[in-house]
Amino acid sequence: MLDLKYLREEREKLERALKNRGYSLDILEELDALDKARREYIKRANELRARKNEISKEIGLRKKAGEDISDLLEEAKRVEEELREVEEKEKEADKKFWELWAYVPNIPHESVPVGKDSNDNVVVRQWGEIREFDFEPKPHWEIGEMLGILDFESAAKMSGSRFAVYKGLGAILERALINFFLDTHRKNGYIEVFPPILVKPESLFASGHLPKFEEEMYRMERDDMYLIPTAEVSLANLHRDEVIPEEKLPLYYVAYTPCFRREAGSYGRDVRGIIRVHQFNKVELFKYTKPEESYIEHEKMVQDAERILQMLGIPYRVVLLCTGDMGFAAAKTYDIEVWAPGINRWLEASSVSNVEDFQARRANIRLRRKDGRKEYVHMLNGSGLATPRVFIAILENYQQKDGSVVIPEVLRDYIGFDVIRP
């Protein structure tokens, strides 16, 4: 959630940010009307309270003088009734204002390129050589089914489309990836967390996923809880309503969780294989930092995610997202995309964002400076990594002519074998 100064004092910056993100400015007109109304109600309520106090004093004085107070009692009744009415209107306008303000996205950082969509993103760097095959590389779904490690038919029987069963060595490889990710990040100073995957609505509001992304999530209506779309939600609430001493920052966390997404609006896209599924595994990185250090920590987090792919020997590129392609809460985002030769595409395996104080305001997380001053912390999140796209990249980049798949060297101690054979 943004500081209200953007609506009242830095209006030009807010309007420019919304335009660059592709948002309509109509929302600002509604917010202005609500803000004006609630301020008028507050002013009128204060006037009525003042008059109520004056009447009370006058009644006391007249009583002492033995004078008639019937007119004052009548006025006091009218003032009390109007005050109740105004307070109710103020409360309603205030509620509507904050509900609408929650739909306003974050302000892009000045280093973010202005653009409409993914076509305007900027490739920052690329790592690794693209392999040249002496045979036609297969897509991961063909490799997985041929090796007996991915079973889409059984998954469809159980759960429908966009699910997969990982079998045998496929299940072992998936588990190895999770452990390898966690172990590597722990060695780099991240504290491992295993959080709940069912959360309350207020947790999703704090992370910025509600109310805007209601349709993207699976809701347990009976209990009014949601399956998390990412461990970012849980980690963003780890210190909710807390004040963190400055000397304890930065805080680094890493968490593995399954993630659940409805993929609303993506029908017909990436329906084959495990490119876009409803349930997947992800290791999430999260940081709480001082504002002046957040962009240094952002670059370091990107490098932490990159290191995993370098160790796996998977070609990737780092992409700086433009204003029109960034997530709702982000001030700046890098995507890390792996090369998948079987489908001849770059696939996003990680998204690393600095949301500045956007989530901290929603979650009421502040830091206490050494001089006692309090301010909101900056919060950062990133995939480190999501397993499906890495699983795809391993199958497609390490496939052999005989149909086998060579296991990256760093995973062999986790798995216990070097090659998956037909």
Tokens of 110: 């000045």
- Count CB-CB contacts under 10 A for residue 237: 23
Residue among 320, 349, 355 nearest 334 (CA): 320
Q: Which amino acid is at 134?
A: D
Helix (H) or strand (E) holding 155: helix 152-159
Nearest to residue 286, comparing CAs of 299, 306, 301, 296? 301
357 with 378: CB under 8 angstroms? yes
CB atoms within 10 A of CB 267: 9
Where do we find the tokens 């985002």? 333
State the burial class of residue 133 (Cβ atoms within 10 Å of its Cβ: 0-12, 13-18, 19+): middle
- Are the C-beta atoms of residues 128 and 315 closer than 8 Å to each other? yes
Q: What does the block give as tokens for 178? A: 């999770």
Q: How far apart are CA 170 and CA 175, in angstroms?
A: 9
Residue positions annotated with a catalytic role: 261, 276, 348, 351, 389
Alpha helices in 68-127 (DSSP H): 70-101
Residue 317: strand, helix, or coil: strand
Count of residues in the chain: 422
φ/ψ of 236, rounded to 5, equals -70, -20
Give me 230's structure tokens: 């990412």
**Contact of 316 with 339, CB cutoff 8 Å:** yes
Nearest residue to 130 via CA among 311, 320, 402, 346: 346
> How many CB atoms neighbour CB 35 within 10 A?
19
